Amino acid sequence: MIVALLNQKGGVGKTTLALHLAGEWARRGQRVTVIDADPQGSALDWSQQRARESLPRLFGVIGLARDTLHREAPELARNVHHIVIDGPPRVAGLMRSALLAADIILIPVQPSPFDGWGSAEMLALLSEARVYRSHLVARFVLNRCGARTVIARETALTLADHDPPLLASKVGQRVAFADAAQSGRLVWEAHATIAAREITALASEVGRLAR
């Protein structure tokens, strides 16, 4: 399956979740390639940092920040179980291309319901893509949830009707994720048990969407 993490907002966790999902599937013995579709190349930086620290290669990371991504992805997908696309920061041709390439779109958001999740432009592109690709699955995923962030019941009810819907698995605001990004590691390699458990649950839930 091809999973794309998309949100034109920076800092919501596209790269963090893309790398951790890829790592989780790799850990389960599946072959994975991450496509870094962000011109800033943070997934590639992470991979390079990993090589510098002589950490084992868990999955391939390739840079493909081009509008032709959707033309290359099927060929790349032939050799692996999963492709994970780390999305670009802007709503542009590149995002459209990622929407054409993917089977599952994950939109990381922070728990700020009044902040407006996923821009109208991005959601419009998503609806447009769904016209031609009716099997395209899209979900919001809550990232960086604070320990004490209790989403009020009314908000939870609003979220229940959200389109795209919200995944049940959530990822907390945890230092381990920031440390992992710096050191070319994944949270489970840093023995951050709670963070690792959240990723395991997320990967399983995403896996179930593919069936």
Ligand X SMILES: Nc1ncnc2c1ncn2[C@@H]1O[C@H](COP(=O)(O)OP(=O)(O)O)[C@@H](O)[C@H]1O
**Footprint of Mg ion (CB under 5 A):** 14-15, 38, 42
User: What's the number of CA atoms in the CB half-sphere (13 Å) around residue 80?
Assistant: 24
Q: Report the SS3 class of residue 61.
A: strand
Task: Decide whether 24 or 38 has the Cβ nearer to Mg ion.
Answer: 38
CB of 143 to Mg ion, least distance (A): 12
Task: Decide whether 14 or 27 has the Cβ nearer to Mg ion.
Answer: 14
Residue 9 near residue 111, CB atoms below 8 Å: no
Q: Which does 181 bind (CB under 5 to 8 A by kind): ligand X, Mg ion, none?
A: ligand X
CB of 19 to ligand X, least distance (A): 8
Residues in touch with ligand X (CB under 6 A): 10-16, 42, 143-144, 171, 173-174, 177-178, 181
78 vs 93: CA distance, rounded Å: 24
CB of 159 to Mg ion, least distance (A): 24
Residue 117 near residue 140, CB atoms below 8 Å: yes
Task: Decide whether 14 or 185 has the Cβ nearer to Mg ion.
Answer: 14
State the sign of the Cα–Cα–Cα–Cα dihedral 176, 7, 23, 39: negative
Q: Which does 171 bind (CB under 5 to 8 A by kind): Mg ion, ligand X, none?
A: ligand X
Q: Which does 124 bind (CB under 5 to 8 A by kind): ligand X, Mg ion, none?
A: none
Enumerate the H helices of 35-165 as residue ranges: 42-52, 69-77, 93-101, 120-132, 153-160
Q: Which does 36 bind (CB under 5 to 8 A by kind): Mg ion, ligand X, none?
A: none
Q: Which does 165 bind (CB under 5 to 8 A by kind): ligand X, Mg ion, none?
A: none
Q: Is 92 left (phi over 0), alpha (psi -120 to 50) or beta?
A: beta
